[in-house]
Structure 1
Amino acid sequence: MQIDKTGWKILEILQENARLSNAEIARLVGLTTSAVQDRVKKLEARGIIQGYTTRVNPAALDLTLTAFVGVRISPHHLARQVGSALAATPGIEEVYRQAGDECFLIKARCRDTVQLEGLLDNINDTEGVVGTRTTIALSPVTEANGAILAAHRSCAPQEPDED
């Protein structure tokens, strides 16, 4: 889906702070409040804006250990069942089905290695899971908020500005 430069700017602003008013966004992009409101409604209607969330600081909740876990399964016809079970497991933030030796890649946050060990035990006890490979992250270079736009804006097709 093509978006003009002003649309990209509005998305960047909302992704950084979705609580800004339409009037403030309008000031930042040089449009009227009603024009920004119309654009945001169009972005929502097109499914580009899927919702508004709150970012939580994991360290403030003592979740300072981030781990990425590759999961191998067998038999492969259990993939949907295993994926659903993994997604419902406390401590797991994200689950991706992937191609390659490992069928799933999981992002998990834990307080410490003891909690991670318990999480890995739960994962390995899931029917169909035959093994895991765990990598512990030292620190984030970039994380989800803003990553989608930052990673894809330069290569996405753009329409000329509407306004």
Structure 2
Amino acid sequence: MEKRMIHLDETDLAILELLQEDARITNVALANQLKMAPSAMLERVRKLEEKGVVKGYSAAIDPLAVNRELLVFIFIKTKDSFANDKSARALAAIPQVMEVHHIAGDDCYLVKARLSGPMELMEMKRSKFSKIPNIISMRTTIVLETVKESSHISIEK
């Protein structure tokens, strides 16, 4: 993964903060809050999108409303070499898997998944994870209570 430096000025950072608070904010409302012309704001947001700084817009959905009450983190060890991401791609293709992180330490990957309950967890492990040939071991942590969960990135100016 190639690191790239993108220069962001204070206005860009302010735009990003406002978009994180409310991705549905209108261009006019953004412009008003930052005391800019709507056309200039539209151009700024478009450039942030083109540069890949703004990767997309999404809705935060209550997991209970869609029967996804069980939150689990699964530590996975594989036989993959560090340069091979075949297992990571296979894990990422599983619909219930929300995140796959290549990690340092005893394990290779940390997977976050949302499920309806323990039976779906067992089924996912049996029917999906068991088909990934390089998995050596798995350790599952079940979340009892979530104190904080956020996709917001702290933006320092």
Q: Tell me the residue number matched to 1:48.
A: 53
For normalisation by structure 2, the TM-score amounts to: 0.84
Cα gap change, 1:125/1:3 in structure 2, threshold over 3 Å: closer, same or farther?
A: same
Q: Tell me the residue number matched to 2:137.
A: 131
- The reply on whether 1:109 has 2:114 as its aligned counterpart is yes
Extract unaligned runs of 5+ from structure 1: 159-163
CA contact (8 A) 1:65 1:136 kept: yes
For normalisation by structure 1, the TM-score amounts to: 0.81
For residue 25 of structure 1, the aligned residue among 19, 24, 30 is 30
CA contact (8 A) 2:75 2:139 kept: yes
Between the aligned partners of 2:124 and 2:12, the Cα distance in structure 1 is: 41
Larger displacement relative to structure 2 (124-133 or 61-70): 124-133
Report the Cα offset of residue 117 of structure 1. 1.8
- The reply on whether 1:64 has 2:69 as its aligned counterpart is yes
SS at match of 2:85: helix
Percent pairwise identity: 33
Extract unaligned runs of 5+ from structure 2: 1-5
Name the Cα RMSD after superposition.
Answer: 2.0
Report the Cα offset of residue 78 of structure 1. 8.9
